[in-house]
């Protein structure tokens, strides 16, 4: 390897570096008297006609240094703002002071220093940001914990309200059913009972609206299909809303059209919620004209059309009208603004379709189609004589802490031919149930002490082989799955549909 560069390269590099450094040499004697100047003095701000000030500054740089040795002073700021590297090179009686341009290097150093400062500042800011992020994360975690706690409290509240609403409604509707069986259809007492039932249904719908909203979009409301008597449904709607329409001098009609010889199987509670919410809105927002409800049952689909001649809904509000607490389209609304959002949710839960047509000042029409889960024969009676004889002698234990509900269930089952025993709670050792060894056990979920689901699980684990039907006021799919996983044979929700209840009992016992 040859370390000697070609002469042409040496020459090129020398010229290149000299051009960039722009060297200036000031020759002094040992008394620091200027002897000669070599190079571009003007570039370094030295006036060759009066160089004293600049020369004095350069001389001061080497005060205290030996003048017989080479010395370097980097980045000296000159009078014109230029920067130079200053070198002392002694040669006999002459002191050569060499100035090399350092402006670009100084700027680069400044940029590096600035970058370092910015990096330090950025690191400081990063540290502060990390501290802030940790604080924010802690705040978010605390907030999330509070939200989870609030959600748990909401779920507990909804479960409590569900029980407190639905349990007494079970007693109301059930005993109304028993009373209606004792009176002729057209008797004054039967008409009065129907008024009570319609009013109870209206209050039940308000309660169901609250519960449905509380469950939220992912509430998992259980669809509970039963046979729907459309004639009775239309009669109830007329009885419920005709007086309200008359009070506002509105025409009101309910039309029923059916080409089927079977009954639709739909969730009765949800269906009535939909109808009552839509008709309540129609009455509320209609001041003149008429309100119509058309119910059609054909091809296994129940179609509902609710129309009014009310204020109508402007185009810009037609999407938001199905959101909770939206009053934008109904000026002067006194409602909670939940009705239509709940209608939409219920239709979706029942796998139906919902459409709306509206014209401002002319009214609104809702179209709903609901597919029937199954279809049942028109004449259904679970309490016929043959059924009673089949069930007679079978023993049933009812465990429910609400005496009104327990008495209702006992009356229905005794009329059905069962021998009934009742208890208001489950003993911790479950001894009573094994002592009775009933053929059928009706178990409420919400009980003092041990819950109904826990009791069922323990009974199955200890070998109880009788049939179990669990009753719950929590009408959600999750509640049903939990009860079935515990070991019950069927799951019914409150308020009970009497025909569905008796049909379930007959089916469960028949498979024993």
pLDDT of amino acid 77: 82
At residue 307, does pLDDT exceed 90? yes
Residues 54 and 134 in one domain: no
Higher-confidence residue of 431 and 127: namely: 127
| pLDDT, position 357 | 92
Beta strand 24-28 pairing with 34-39: antiparallel
Structural domains counted in the chain: 3
CATH classification at residue 87: 3.30.450.20
Segment 68-80 shows an average pLDDT of 83
Which of 112-126, 165-179, 264-278 shows the lowest per-residue confidence on average (mean pLDDT)? 165-179
Is there a single domain that holds both residue 361 and residue 389?
no
Of the candidates 136, 111, 133, 114, the one whose C-alpha atom is nearest the C-alpha of residue 122 is 114
Q: Are residues 129 and 190 in the same domain?
A: no
Round the average pLDDT of the chain to a whole number and report it: 82
Greater pLDDT, 447 or 213:
447
Q: Within this chain, do residues 308 and 448 fall inside the same structural domain, yes or no?
A: no
Are 490 and 504 contacting, i.e. CB atoms less than 8 angstroms apart? yes
Task: Please indicate, yes or no, whether residues 193 and 236 belong to a single structural domain of this protein.
Answer: yes
Q: Which of 73, 101, 129 is the last residue of a domain?
A: 101
Report the distance separating Cα 60 and Cα 406, nearest Å: 112
Q: What are phi and psi of 110, to 5 degrees?
A: -65, -40
Residue (of 204, 127, 199) closest to 166 by Cα position: 204
Does residue 124 sit in the same domain as residue 272? no
Residue 108 lies inside a defined structural domain of this protein: no
| pLDDT band at residue 308 under the 50/70/90 scheme | very high
Q: β-strands 353-359, 290-298: how paired?
A: unpaired
Confidence grade of residue 3 (pLDDT, cut at 50, 70, 90): confident
Residue 40 has pLDDT above 90, yes or no: no
**Terminal alpha carbon distance of the chain:** 104
pLDDT in tens, 203-240: 777 777 777 776 665 555 678 888 888 998 998 899 88
Q: Give the sheet arrangement for strand 71-77, strand by strand.
A: 34-39, 24-28, 94-101, 83-91, 71-77
In this structure, the answer to whether residues 365 and 403 fall within a common structural domain is: no
The helix-helix angle for 498-510 and 403-415 (nearest 10°) equals 60
The pLDDT assigned to 391 comes to 53
For the segment 229-252, the average pLDDT, to the nearest whole number, is 91
| Residue 496 belongs to domain spanning | 120-182+383-512
Which of 101, 131, 158 is at the close of a domain?
101
Residues 371 and 464 in one domain: no
Average pLDDT of span 490-501: 87
Has residue 334 got a pLDDT over 60?
no
> Does 212 map to a domain?
yes
One domain, residues 365 and 277: yes
> For residue 493, what pLDDT is reported?
87
- Predicted local distance difference test score (pLDDT) of residue 415: 84
Cβ–Cβ < 8 Å for 370, 350:
yes
Residue ending a domain, choose from 360, 377, 394: 377
Residue 333 resides in a domain: yes
The 3-class secondary structure across 120-178, one letter per residue, is HHHHHHHHHHHHHHHHHHHHHHHHHHHHHHHHHHHHHHHHHHHHHHHHHHHHHHHHHHH
Q: For the beta carbon of residue 498, count every other beta carbon within 10 angstroms.
A: 20
Which candidate, 417, 414, 462, 422, places its Cα nearest to that of 442? 422
Any domain includes 437: yes
Secondary structure letter of residue 497 according to DSSP: P
Question: Domain holding 302: CATH number?
Answer: 3.30.565.10
The pTM is what? 0.61
Does residue 107 form part of some domain?
no
Rank 269-273, 366-370, 404-408, 472-476 by mean pLDDT and report only the highest: 366-370
- Do the domain assignments include residue 258? yes
Which residues partner with 87 through β-bridges? Answer: 72, 98
Task: Say yes or no to pLDDT of 140 above 70.
Answer: yes
Residue 110 inside a domain? The answer is: no
Q: What length does the chain have?
A: 512
109 is a domain residue: no
Question: Distance (Å, rounded) from C-alpha 168 to C-alpha 159?
Answer: 15
512's tokens: 């024993």
Element (H or E) spanning 100, and its range? Answer: strand 94-101
Cis peptide before 495 (omega within 30 of 0): yes
185 compared with 180, residue with greater pLDDT: 180
Is 169 found in the same domain as 201?
no
Same domain? For 247 and 362 the reply is yes
Tokens at residue 188, please?
Answer: 């004054």
Residue 106 pLDDT exceeds 80: yes
Tokens of 204: 């039940």
CA dihedral 146, 151, 152, 155 (to 10 degrees): 160
Are 361 and 416 found together in one domain? Answer: no
Model pLDDT for residues 14-38, shown as the tens digit of each residue: 888 888 888 889 898 888 888 888 8
Tell me the mean pLDDT in the region 443-460: 89
Give residue-wise pLDDT tens across range 473-494: 888 888 899 999 999 999 998 8
- For residue 226, give every residue at least 6 positions away whose Cβ sits within 8 Å of its Cβ, in sequence order, or none: 265, 266, 267, 268, 497, 499, 500
What was the pLDDT predicted at 324? 67
Q: Residue 468 pLDDT > 90, yes or no?
A: yes
pLDDT at position 278, please? 93
Q: What is the pLDDT of residues 373-411, one digit of tens each?
A: 765 444 444 444 345 445 567 899 999 988 888 998 999
pLDDT at 17: 82
User: What span, in angstroms and rounded, lies between the C-alpha atoms of 475 and 473?
Assistant: 6
Q: What is the CATH number of the domain that holds 403?
A: 3.40.50.2300
């Amino acid at each position: 390897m040859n370390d000697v560069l070609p002469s042409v390269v040496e020459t090129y590099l020398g010229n290149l570096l000299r051009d960039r450094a722009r060297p200036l040499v000031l020759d002094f004697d040992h008394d620091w008297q200027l002897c000669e100047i070599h190079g571009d003095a003007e570039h370094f701000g030295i006036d060759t006609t009066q160089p004293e000030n600049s020369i004095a500054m350069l001389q001061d740089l080497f005060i205290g240094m030996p003048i017989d040795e080479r010395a370097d002073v980097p980045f000296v700021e000159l009078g014109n703002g230029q920067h130079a590297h200053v070198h002392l090179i002694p040669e006999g009686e002459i002191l050569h002071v060499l100035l090399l341009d350092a402006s670009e290097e100084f700027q680069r150093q400044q940029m590096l220093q600035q970058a370092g400062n910015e990096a330090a500042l950025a690191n400081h800011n990063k540290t502060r940001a990390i501290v802030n992020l940790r604080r924010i994360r802690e705040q978010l975690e605390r907030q999330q914990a509070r939200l989870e706690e609030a959600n748990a409290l909401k779920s507990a509240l909804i479960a409590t309200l569900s029980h407190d609403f639905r349990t007494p409604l079970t007693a109301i509707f059930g005993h109304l059913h028993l009373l209606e069986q004792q009176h002729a259809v057209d008797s004054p007492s039967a008409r009065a009972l129907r008024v009570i039932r319609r009013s109870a249904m209206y209050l039940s719908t308000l309660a169901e609206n609250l519960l449905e909203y509380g469950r939220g979009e992912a509430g998992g409301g259980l669809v509970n299909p039963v046979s729907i008597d459309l004639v009775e449904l239309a009669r109830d709607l007329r009885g419920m809303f005709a007086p309200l329409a008359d009070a506002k001098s509105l025409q009101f009609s309910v039309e029923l059209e059916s080409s089927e010889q079977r009954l639709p199987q739909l969730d009765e509670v949800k269906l009535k919620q939909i109808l009552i919410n839509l008709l309540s809105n129609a009455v509320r927002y209609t001041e003149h004209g008429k309100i119509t409800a058309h119910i059609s049952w054909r091809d296994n689909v129940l179609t509902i059309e609710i129309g009014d001649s009310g204020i109508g809904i402007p185009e810009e509000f037609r999407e938001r009208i199905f959101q909770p607490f939206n009053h934008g389209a109904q000026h002067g609304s006194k409602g909670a603004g939940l009705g239509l959002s709940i209608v939409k949710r219920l239709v979706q839960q029942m796998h139906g379709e919902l459409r709306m047509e509206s014209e401002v000042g002319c009214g609104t029409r809702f179209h709903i189609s609901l597919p029937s889960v199954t279809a049942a024969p028109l004449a259904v009676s679970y309490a016929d004589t043959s059924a009673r004889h089949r069930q007679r002698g079978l023993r049933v234990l009812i465990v429910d802490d609400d005496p009104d509900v327990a008495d209702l269930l006992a009356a229905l089952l005794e009329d059905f031919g069962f021998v009934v025993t009742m208890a208001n709670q489950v003993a911790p050792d479950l001894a009573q149930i094994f002592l009775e060894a009933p053929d059928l056990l009706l178990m409420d979920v919400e009980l003092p002490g041990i819950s109904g689901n826990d009791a069922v699980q323990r009974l199955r684990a200890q070998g109880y082989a009788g049939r179990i039907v669990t009753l719950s006021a929590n009408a959600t799919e999750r509640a049903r799955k939990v009860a079935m996983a515990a070991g019950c044979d069927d799951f019914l929700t409150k308020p009970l549909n009497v025909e569905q209840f008796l049909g379930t009992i007959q089916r469960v016992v028949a498979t024993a």
